[in-house]
Amino acid sequence: MDSPGPRAPDAFEWAAHRATFPIFRSSIYFNTCSLGALSTRVEAAVGRFLTLWHEHGASAWYGPWWDTMGALRTRCAQAIGAEPDEIALFPSITAALTAVASAFEYRDRPRVVMSRLEFPTTVYQWLAKRGAGVEPTILPGGDGLTMRVDAYAAATDRRTQLVVASHVYFTSGYVQDLGAMSAIAHAHGALCVIDAYQGTGQLPTDVHACGVDFLVTGGLKWLLGGPGVAFLYVRRALHDRLHPNDVGWFAHRDQFAFRTDAFEPADDARRFEGGTPSVAALYAADAGLSVVQELGIDRLRARQLDLVGDLIDRLRAVGLRPRVPTDLSGHAGIVTVPVPDPSAVVTALRQRRIIVDSRPGVVRLSPYFYNTIEDNRAVCAALREALAAPAPAS
Ligand SMILES: Cc1ncc(COP(=O)(O)O)c(C=O)c1O
């Protein structure tokens, strides 16, 4: 007889998980793609950090705090199919990308291929290096929803250093094909950088199988860990080939030797790291990631597809036109709805204790496992009312 596989949480268990996110006691939260909701587990983990600080002062560093850094690298590696020595820790995506960008010379390969649909910080990283010889190539955003693989292929050549793409595009929810991105880069001797901040937690990811060279992600959104921790994956074969020059003492092979005569980079991905992390944020990130891991990314994806499909149907039923593809298998949990005055709608919904956000021209909703069909019903009714109400006199 087949052994039973992992059992999917039933409706009651999803409700039990929702109950550990106190925001739902007073509000309906639909903005995980900006900031994941705070769970009681994450709150308790930050409390533990404070207690250790109280009780042990600096000696907490050399015990539990240091161990938490290691545990976090391991958890992140598990979430994306990597090994812990391929993970470096940073305070933000920007800091991680800066370390990556600092590992290249750009003289023979000045071109960096990106798209207009990236999150701005990703593009600014290389736009700001024009004076240092970088040739940023920004692909037009097409329909504003999808970014076709062919566009990256056409723009990549033997002068390309990096192909940079999102796993999930932050305004559209479109899911990029990571295997195709790395194949395009590698066909021309270039490397591929993936911004997976909107992907990890929402989508199963296997960095080894898809062959990407770098992947940045972090705790803020779908990993439920709040601000302050980002992760950089660096493919192991690149470790000894690359010498980032934007580094700090955490990147040294023998950090606690405190040598100042020479910089010897760590053998693993830590060679990209900078300075002292925010330890409270490490505790929060570790606890948030543990929730996601326990639920299982495949289960989360299945539940989210159900919620997103239902939300789209209900939005259409109230006369709205969500910008989503017909086939949701290439789409993540970000649903944008064009409206005439997005920030007025966000404010109107906030008055009804429904939290959504806006981007130029659209209201953005991002359901996650803790949302329910009842939340979908409520947000659609509130949107209908807010859009029917006359605009306040200015
Ligand atoms: C895809 C993506 N990348 C990067 C960022 C932000 O990066 P940073 O950590 O540098 O603020 C965001 C949003 O916060 C994002 O949605």
What does the mean pLDDT of the chain come to?
A: 94
Segment 164-188 mean pLDDT: 96
Is residue 137 lining ligand 1, measured as CB closer than 6 Å? no
How remote is the CA of residue 117 from the centroid of ligand 1, in Å?
12
Q: How much is the pLDDT for 298?
A: 92
How remote is the CA of residue 36 from the centroid of ligand 1, in Å?
13
Range of weakest confidence among 4-13, 128-137, 340-349: 4-13
Residue percentage of the chain with pLDDT more than 90? 91
**pLDDT tens digits for 150-159?**
999 999 999 9
**pLDDT tens digits for 124-142?**
999 999 999 999 999 997 7
Question: Using CA of residue 185, residue 84, residue 329, residue 164, what is the dihedral sign?
Answer: negative
Neighbouring residues of 389: CB distance < 8 A, sequence distance ≥ 6 = 348
Is residue 94 lining ligand 1, measured as CB closer than 6 Å? yes
Record the pTM: 0.94
How remote is the CA of residue 75 from the centroid of ligand 1, in Å?
20
Is residue 231 lining ligand 1, measured as CB closer than 6 Å? no
How remote is the CA of residue 165 from the centroid of ligand 1, in Å?
13
How remote is the CA of residue 32 from the centroid of ligand 1, in Å?
13
Atom of ligand 1 minimally distant from the CA of 169? 1
Best CA proximity match to 85, nearest among 70, 96, 97: 70
Atom of ligand 1 minimally distant from the CA of 92? 9
Atom of ligand 1 minimally distant from the CA of 230? 9
How remote is the CA of residue 199 from the centroid of ligand 1, in Å?
12
Segment 327-336 mean pLDDT: 92
Is residue 195 lining ligand 1, measured as CB closer than 6 Å? yes
Residues 289, 201: Cα–Cα separation, whole Å? 8
Is residue 165 lining ligand 1, measured as CB closer than 6 Å? no
Atom of ligand 1 minimally distant from the CA of 196? 1
Is residue 357 lining ligand 1, measured as CB closer than 6 Å? no
Split at pLDDT 50, 70, 90, the class of 7 is low
How remote is the CA of residue 340 from the centroid of ligand 1, in Å?
26
Is residue 166 lining ligand 1, measured as CB closer than 6 Å? yes
Is residue 198 lining ligand 1, measured as CB closer than 6 Å? yes
How remote is the CA of residue 216 from the centroid of ligand 1, in Å?
10
Segment 235-240 mean pLDDT: 97
